Every structure is written in structure tokens, then in C-alpha cells.
Amino acid sequence: MDRVERVPAGRLNLLFDVEVGGERHYLQRCESANRIRTLREEWDDTLVGVLQVHILVDHPTEPGIWHVGEGGCRLRAKTDVEATGLEAEPGYEFLCVIEEVAVRESARRFIGQNKYRKAVPKLDEYRVALTAQEPWALAIRDGLHRHGLEINRFPRYGNGAAGHVAAVAGCEYAVLQAYRAYADWWLASGHLAGVLEITRRGFAPVTGTEREEAAYAHDGDLIRAVSRIILRNAEKMAGVRNQQRLSDKLGMHSASWWKSTSQELSTSRGATPGSGGRPGYLAGLIVWEFNKRLSEERRLTSPSRVVIE
């Protein structure tokens, strides 16, 4: 029979596999240290929820061991010193549903719990986060509002009408990185607004109509790349002169040129499409264009390891 108890973290275990008769049987996946570290850094007691604890009655070496079948990342966030880099909290109490199960049944339940889970689209996450008054979502909203923009799945520059930004992930990246730099959500919001000021000037509509690539001003990779450049060169990019130069340099080429050239750079250096490195190569390319014919003291520093000579 199931029972519900509050259990200290130090009483619980997280088993990724067991060995039976010389053969290894896996119970669940092991999430990356980065994810565990982020979970610990952003910990919120009100969002912990309930852990599913399986007393493994037929564990080959420790029958009766208490294994977390659902909620292992939360347990690791409080106990995995190597992943979090922070002191463990073995006395932290989790609300748990506890039941006796076999090893095979524990593995089967893990599959069942995750098989039909669907990743929440960023647009939906953002909308719900606004309702919950999450600071990162409010920072995005406020940053967009400074340009008369709003989140919408169909990007639009907004030439005489409300503009749309679909790149929620790019905007989230910009405000989170700025918050880490400034520890202030209002400044993070202003950072996003500043990024969009530069990208929107670079790809502004011409002669009263939206040119085809105008919506590229709101592209997620571009927002990430410009955000990284500004944060890496905060002092130099505080000046209007360099902000305008950056916009001018973006506008010198079409959206398709920036996309194709940065992609060619990434593939030529061994990166695979979709590897997550596109903003880094794009940032390196933008810095390279910016620095042309500039003296050493005026040049920007690439925010990534991608340096183009």
C-alpha cells in the first residue's frame, strides 16, 4: 500500500542501474551536471512537488533500498556536490509517495512516466510564466514593450503596426545572461531592449514597406549573438557611436547572407547543424565585420572562441 511521508534527502537514493547475474540493467537516465546545477541555483520550495519513492524489494545486493523513481533531479540538486558545486543538504525534507516495487517495475514506470511527456513549447511556457509573474518572463515583456513588440508565433517587424517576436528562447537567453551580469531584472529588460534597438535598426523596413528580411531583426540566433557581443564588450558598447556602427554593419548584408555565411563557418570548422553553436559563429562573424579598418583600441572582442582572421 502506498504511503505519503516527508523524508530527508539523506535517506533517499538514486540508482541509475543495477547489476544482476553479471548483467547491467538500467533504471533511468542520468541528467547532465549542468541541468542539476541550474536546478539548484533556481531552486524554489513552492515548486518541488512530490517524489515517487520505490522500495526495491528484489534489489540484488540491497533489498529494500529506497530509490527515487520520479524526482531524481530534485534529489541530486540537494545532494550531488560534484554537480552543483554547493554544499549538500541531507536534512532537506521531500514529500514522498512510497511503495514497494520490483526493479523491473521501477524501470517500467520510468518509461511510462516519460514516454508521453511532450516538451513545453517556449511560447506556451512564456505565456504561463507571465501569469505566474516569473521575473524572466516579465523582463522579456517589458523589454519588448519598449519597442511596441509582443510575443507571437508569427514574427513581424511592425512597420506601422504592433511588431511580433517569435524567438522566445533567444529573448530568454538575453535577459538571463544580463541578469547574471547585473543581478537586476530591470537592467536585464533594458539589455534586451538595447539588443533589439540594434537589430531593428540594422534590418529596418525600407521606403515604408517591410523588406523580406525585416523580420530577421527578431531572429533568435541574431538576438543571442548581439546579446553576447554587448555583454562581452559592455564598456565599448555603452557608446551610441559603436551601437550605430553595429547596426550599420548588420544592415550591410542581407539576412540570408548572415545565416548562410555563419552556417558555412560552423560546418567548415566541424560543427554540425543544430549543434547549438550557430549564435557563437554568428557573433564571431559580426565582430569580424565590425572590426574592419578599426584601430586596435576600438575593436571589439569576440564573445566566443570563434575568432575570424
pLDDT at 172: 96
Mean pLDDT of 200-211: 72
State the Cα–Cα distance between residues 103 and 55, nearest whole angstrom.
9
Region 296-303: mean pLDDT is 92
* pLDDT per residue as tens digits for the range 137-174: 999 999 999 999 999 988 888 876 778 999 999 999 99
Name residue 255's beta-bridge partners: none
Predicted local distance difference test score (pLDDT) of residue 190: 97
pLDDT level of residue 275 (50, 70, 90 thresholds)? very low
d(CA 294, CA 236): 13
**Quick one: pLDDT band at residue 273, thresholds 50, 70, 90?**
very low
Per-residue pLDDT of 214-245, as tens digits, reads: 778 999 999 999 999 999 999 999 999 999 99
Between CA 166 and CA 52 the distance in angstroms is: 36
pLDDT at position 244 is 96
Q: Where are the domains of the chain?
A: 3-115, 122-298
Q: What is the mean pLDDT of the segment spanning 53-71?
A: 92
Answer for the pair 112, 121: CB distance below 8 angstroms, yes or no.
Answer: no
3-115: in CATH 3.90.1530: yes
Say what the pLDDT of residue 274 is. Answer: 47
**DSSP-based three-state secondary structure for 200:** helix
